[in-house]
Amino acid sequence: MIAFFIKRLFQAIIVMFVISLISFSIQDNLGDPLREMVGQSVSEAERQALRDEMGLNDPFLIQYGRFLGNVLQGDLGTSYFFKEPALEVILKKMPATLELVFGATIIIVLFSVPLGVYSAIKPFSWFSRVVMGVSIVGISVPVFLTAIGLIYLFAIELGWMPSYGRGDTVDMFWGWDSGLFTLDGLHHLILPSFTLASIMLPLFIRLIRSEMMEVLQSEYVKFAWAKGLHSRRIYFLHALKNTMLPVITVGGVQIGTMVAYTILTETVFQWPGMGFLFLEAVNRVDTPLIVAYLIVVGAVFVVTNTIVDLIYGLVNPTVKLAGK
Amino acid sequence: MALLEVKNLEVSFGLRSGEVKALRNISFNLDRGERLGLVGESGAGKSVLGFSILNLISRPGRISAGEIWFDGQNLANLSAEGIRAIRGNRISMIFQDPMMTLNPVLTIGQQMVECLQAHRKISFDAAKTIAVQKLKQVYIPSPETRFDQYPHELSGGMRQRIVIAIALLLDPDIIIADEPTTALDVTIQAEIMELMVELCERNNVALILITHDLGVVSQATQKTIVMYAGRIIEQGPTKEIINDAQHPYTQGLMNALPQMAIPGQRLNQIRGAMPPLQRIPTGCAFNPRCDYAEEACKRELPTFTRSGNCQVACHMVAAMRKAEQTQEGV
Ligand SMILES: Nc1ncnc2c1ncn2[C@@H]1O[C@H](COP(=O)(O)OP(=O)(O)OP(=O)(O)O)[C@@H](O)[C@H]1O
Ligand SMILES: [Mg+2]
């Protein structure tokens, strides 16, 4: 267990190090912070003095070291636009994004497992063929098209769903709020969640189907049939458990990447999350905010991967976390 | 009446290139407690035959003709639930590679108890008692500990013992073992084979032993079936077949045995290879590889001739027996 954590920690440090390096280069190259801070009237000499004072003329490594030191203390700079610490601005928006990812994950699990399993068990049935056909199309439809289609149908034509925003939220701890505990909030969550889920859903259905089909050909499944077990037990215990092992690994990584995919979804639905904020920050060249976003998303990615590895270790007896 | 009676069994695979028959006209009997060896080169159809007895041939394969009589039922066209109740209960199987046979994510105990519970109304504790007792029967040390372990925690030989224990769980009438020792370390092959014979003998279980190895057959079985390209070409008491094989193919298999070889010389392999199912020659399927093949062998499928207590499908053997009979008649 300890070895596992040390290994994970080491990986996490490397990933975060790379992200910080990238973030820093962006900060270094994206626009001139002085232009944002001072007016046109300031002379070139005064600018140079300011640069020296801020350390902007120091060698790259020294600047980076200073940046890293600040990051480690949780100081990602001050947002030019909000005039608040960038990290706080981002973190305040995190619940909205996480809820969106959460909603999409639930939808993906709810749909991909039964559909993938069914189409593996009955590959020749018409329903499986339809599922496979739709999923092929689904992979190639861009997100914003899905979003617009859903909004048009369910918000405008049918009027069942709100088309933008997060709805009512309740206050939680650390200044966070949540829409999961109000009917209105949940109502608002549905369309964005389906949109975000639509990116991964076809992929997951196909992944589960192909894994399951492979497992069904295995010797231990044949042996399970030869033992006279009921088909239910063979499909949903013997085969499914082995199918889900690789799917959990791939799935975990994909959920991590989904945080990044929220940018498009949040923008279309004007969902007040990190992605929406990030796009605004890019438009305003609000560098500290951009950097803060990258680092936070990187951290989320590392954390989800670690959790996924832990779960994998718990489900798969051949991986020994505890070294018992 | 025989315990198991297979009549004119035919198994076909619907492939893209057309339908091929992996088994043709398979007929044999198995008595209670009898041990039957099933031999032949790779691709002869031994495994297909073993699986088809429990109707375990999956798409694109199917039993396309014939009957499999067991306990007054024809297993070839039993309902799904009917055949399920036989599998693992009255007739059980042992597979080749114990590394692949057990489910890696379930404990040994789970995989034993589920089998008992699939066929009997039985509590977990009662099932566990039986399972542990069977583990003892196959000489698994500290069976209670093993019960809670996962397959990967055990060696190959140990796993095959567990598979054997699973096959014995419900005191079956027949065990079908498909090359049960091939994947094991040579040092424990004999040990596992002896264990199987011992347990079958003690529990009066009939055994269908699929193997490449005529040596194993001669030690472990009373009856032998030799298969070639999906057909039985010779069957009879093991002693007779081992001591006095009639079919040139069986003779070839015997000569290829390491025990038969002169030290330092290459083994006497039969020349050529078994044809794929799509290209089985007309007449006797073995004729292109046979040293005695004549015109008739290329044209006509040989029928079974009685020779001692054996059945042999060979034109040459038929001609010889006929000559003997006319001589006796004179
Ligand atoms: N699922 C399948 N689809 C198509 N053909 C198959 C299938 N399973 C078996 N066959 C064919 O049936 C024939 C007999 O195969 P089988 O596995 O019974 O041989 P075997 O005698 O057990 O050989 P081995 O000693 O290598 O195990 C082979 O020609 C094989 O190609
Ligand atoms: Mg085989």
| A35 occurs within a structural domain | no
| A10 occurs within a structural domain | no
Q: Is the model more confident about A30 or about B178? A: B178
| A51 occurs within a structural domain | no
Q: Is B13 in the pocket of ligand 1 (CB under 6 A)?
A: yes
Q: Confirm or reject contact between A160 and chain B (CB < 8 A).
A: no
Please answer whether residues B177 and B208 qualify as being in contact, where contact means their C-beta atoms are separated by less than 8 angstroms.
yes
Q: What whole-number distance in Å separates Cα of residue A311 and Cα of residue A60?
A: 41
Size of interface A-B (CB pairs under 8 A): 74
Distance from CA of B300 to the nearest CA of A (A): 38
Q: Is B252 in the pocket of ligand 1 (CB under 6 A)?
A: no
Element (H, E) at A254: helix A240-268
| A189 occurs within a structural domain | yes
Task: State residue A323's pLDDT score.
Answer: 40
| A70 occurs within a structural domain | no
Instruction: Test A226 with B54 for CB contact under 8 angstroms.
Output: yes
% of chain A residues with pLDDT over 90: 19
Smallest CA–CA distance from A240 into chain B, residue: B105
List the single residue in A219, A229, A317 with the smallest CB-CB distance to B97: A219
Q: What whole-number distance in Å separates Cα of residue A161 and Cα of residue A167?
A: 11
Number of domains into which chain A is organized: 1
Parallel, antiparallel or unpaired: strands B206-210 and B91-94: unpaired
Q: What whole-number distance in Å separates Cα of residue A310 and Cα of residue A318?
A: 13
Ligand with the closest atom to the CA of B40: 1
Q: Confirm or reject contact between A7 and chain B (CB < 8 A).
A: no
Residue B110: pLDDT band with limits 50, 70, 90: very high
3-state helix, strand, coil in chain B (%, to 5): 40, 25, 35
Q: Is B45 in the pocket of ligand 1 (CB under 6 A)?
A: yes
> CA angle, B95 as apex, B172 and B200 as ends, to 5°?
35
Task: State residue A31's pLDDT score.
Answer: 59
**Coil, strand or helix at B304:** strand
Where helices occur in A122-230 by DSSP H, the ranges are 126-140, 143-150, 183-216, 219-226
Spell out which chain B residues touch chain A, with contact meaning CB-CB distance below 8 angstroms.
Answer: 54, 56, 84-89, 92-93, 95, 97, 100-107, 114-115, 118-119, 150, 152, 163, 166
Q: Name the phi and psi angles at B157, rounded to 5.
A: -65, -40
Please answer whether residues B9 and B76 qualify as being in contact, where contact means their C-beta atoms are separated by less than 8 angstroms.
yes
Q: Is B40 in the pocket of ligand 1 (CB under 6 A)?
A: yes
Compute the residue count for chain B: 330
Instruction: Test B86 with A316 for CB contact under 8 angstroms.
Output: no
Mean pLDDT computed over every residue of chain B: 91
Residue A154: pLDDT band with limits 50, 70, 90: confident
Parallel, antiparallel or unpaired: strands B304-307 and B310-313: antiparallel
**Coil, strand or helix at B321:** helix
List the single residue in B87, B97, B100 with the smallest CB-CB distance to A225: B87
Task: State residue A199's pLDDT score.
Answer: 84
Mean pLDDT value of segment A154-160: 75
Cα(B50) to centroid(ligand 2), Å: 9
Cα(B57) to centroid(ligand 2), Å: 13
Distance from CA of A74 to the nearest CA of B (A): 43
Task: State residue A84's pLDDT score.
Answer: 85
Nearest CA, atom 24, ligand 1: B42
**Is residue A16 pLDDT above 50, yes or no?**
yes
Residue A234 Ramachandran class (φ > 0 left, ψ -120 to 50 alpha, else beta): alpha
**Is residue B177 pLDDT above 60, yes or no?**
yes
Q: What whole-number distance in Å separates Cα of residue B100 and Cα of residue A223?
A: 9
| A146 occurs within a structural domain | yes
Query: What domain range is A102 assigned to?
Result: 86-315
Q: What whole-number distance in Å separates Cα of residue A39 and Cα of residue A304?
A: 43
Distances (CA, A) of A108 to A95, A209, A243, B137: 20, 14, 16, 48
Q: Which residues of A touch B94 (CB under 8 A)?
A: none
* Best mutation site among B23, B42, B48 for ligand 1 pocket (most ligand atoms within 8 Å of CB): B48
Q: Please enumerate, as own/partner, the contacts of A104-109 that have beta carbons within 8 Å and a separation of 24 or more.
A: A104/A193, A104/A194, A104/A196, A104/A197, A104/A200, A104/A258, A105/A197, A105/A255, A105/A258, A106/A193, A107/A193, A107/A194, A107/A197, A107/A201, A108/A197, A108/A200, A108/A201, A108/A204, A108/A251
Q: What whole-number distance in Å separates Cα of residue B36 and Cα of residue B42?
A: 18
Nearest to B185 by CA among B209, B163, B156: B156
Q: Name the phi and psi angles at B139, rounded to 5.
A: 60, 45
Both tokens assigned to A7: 């290994």
Task: State residue B264's pLDDT score.
Answer: 61
pLDDT digits (tens, 9 = 90+) for A206-228: 999 999 999 999 999 999 999 99
| A227 occurs within a structural domain | yes
Nearest to B234 by CA among B301, B324, B314, B300: B314
Cα(B288) to centroid(ligand 1), Å: 21
Instruction: Test A242 with B101 for CB contact under 8 angstroms.
Output: no
**Coil, strand or helix at A46:** helix
Ligand with the closest atom to the CA of B39: 1
pLDDT digits (tens, 9 = 90+) for A247-295: 888 887 787 788 878 888 888 888 888 888 898 888 887 888 888 888 8
Q: Name the phi and psi angles at A32, rounded to 5.
A: -110, 115
Cα(B244) to centroid(ligand 1), Å: 29
The position carrying tokens 């597979």 is: B95
Q: Name the phi and psi angles at B205, rounded to 5.
A: -100, 135
| A296 occurs within a structural domain | yes
Instruction: Test A229 with B114 for CB contact under 8 angstroms.
Output: yes
Mean pLDDT value of segment B201-212: 94
What is the distance of C-alpha B68 from the center of its chain?
A: 15
Q: Confirm or reject contact between A35 and chain B (CB < 8 A).
A: no
Residue A189: pLDDT band with limits 50, 70, 90: confident
Burial class (CB in 10 A: 0-12, 13-18, 19+), A64: middle
Please answer whether residues B143 and B158 qualify as being in contact, where contact means their C-beta atoms are separated by less than 8 angstroms.
no
Residue A28: pLDDT band with limits 50, 70, 90: low
Please answer whether residues B88 and B119 qualify as being in contact, where contact means their C-beta atoms are separated by less than 8 angstroms.
yes
Distance from CA of B130 to the nearest CA of A (A): 16
Instruction: Test A245 with B105 for CB contact under 8 angstroms.
Output: yes
Any idea what the CATH number is for the domain that residue A162 is in? Answer: 1.10.3720.10
Parallel, antiparallel or unpaired: strands B73-74 and B61-70: antiparallel
pLDDT digits (tens, 9 = 90+) for B214-266: 888 999 999 999 999 999 999 999 999 999 888 999 998 888 877 665 566 55
